[in-house]
């Protein structure tokens, strides 16, 4: 199972951006990482025993922020996507589009992974000064000297 993760600051920034940018009827979707719930549990408490209980009735395996039906009206920007209303031909209005790139049929799963959201630092593999996040592995996460620094992405 994967879920999207957003910080409070990222959410507030998107709302303020939408207030400044919107004309009316648009839906703004922040570009944020998604991660597996099992990885979050393992990173949060690596020494705990985790029991996988399965999926609940009606629960999704993977979240989807932009549907296939919305793709023809969705435009990509540096830090977000904007879904324009399909009514009144608004999804073709150049003022509303404002230099966005149409997703259209090119919509693919917009999914990142844990290593883009967490920076893993261990005594044996420290990358605290590196810009590139380390690839997390179970051994590194289980190490008692592991510290997790949440990254506020973009």
| DSSP class per residue in 73-124 | GEEE-SSEEEEPPSGGGGGG-HHHHTTPEE-GGG-------HHHHEEEE-SS
Give me the residues paired with residue 4 across strands: 34
Residue 138, in any domain of the structure = no
Whole-number pLDDT of residue 40 = 86
Q: Could you report the per-residue pLDDT of 30-80, keeping only the tens digit for each?
A: 998 888 888 888 888 888 888 888 888 988 888 888 888 888 899 999 999
Residue 124, in any domain of the structure = no
Query: At residue 127, does pLDDT exceed 70?
Result: no
Residue 80, in any domain of the structure = yes
Residue 141, in any domain of the structure = no
Residue 143, in any domain of the structure = no
Strand, helix or coil at 37?
A: helix
Residue 144, in any domain of the structure = no
The residue among 60 and 145 whose pLDDT is bigger is 60
Residue 133, in any domain of the structure = no
Residue 45, in any domain of the structure = yes
Whole-number pLDDT of residue 110 = 43
Whole-number pLDDT of residue 2 = 86
CB atoms near residue 141 (< 10 Å) = 19
Q: Which domain holds residue 84?
A: 2-118
Domains identified in the chain, total number:
1
CATH number (domain holding residue 45): 3.40.50.720
Distance separating alpha carbons of residues 101 and 82, to the nearest angstrom: 10
């Amino acid at each position: 199972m994967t879920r999207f993760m957003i910080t409070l600051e990222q959410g507030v920034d998107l709302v303020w951006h939408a207030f400044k940018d919107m004309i009316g009827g648009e839906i703004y979707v922040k570009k944020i990482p998604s991660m597996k719930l099992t990885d979050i549990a393992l990173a949060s408490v690596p020494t705990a025993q985790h029991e996988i209980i399965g999926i609940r009735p009606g629960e999704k395996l993977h979240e989807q922020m932009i549907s296939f039906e919305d793709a023809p009206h969705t435009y990509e920007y540096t830090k977000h996507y904007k879904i324009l209303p399909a009514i009144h031909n608004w999804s073709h209005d150049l003022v509303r589009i404002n230099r966005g790139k149409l997703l259209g049929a090119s919509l693919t799963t917009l999914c990142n992974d844990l290593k883009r959201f967490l920076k893993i630092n261990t005594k044996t593999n420290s990358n605290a000064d590196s810009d590139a996040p380390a690839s997390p592995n179970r051994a590194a996460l289980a190490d008692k000297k592991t510290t997790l620094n949440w990254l506020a992405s973009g």
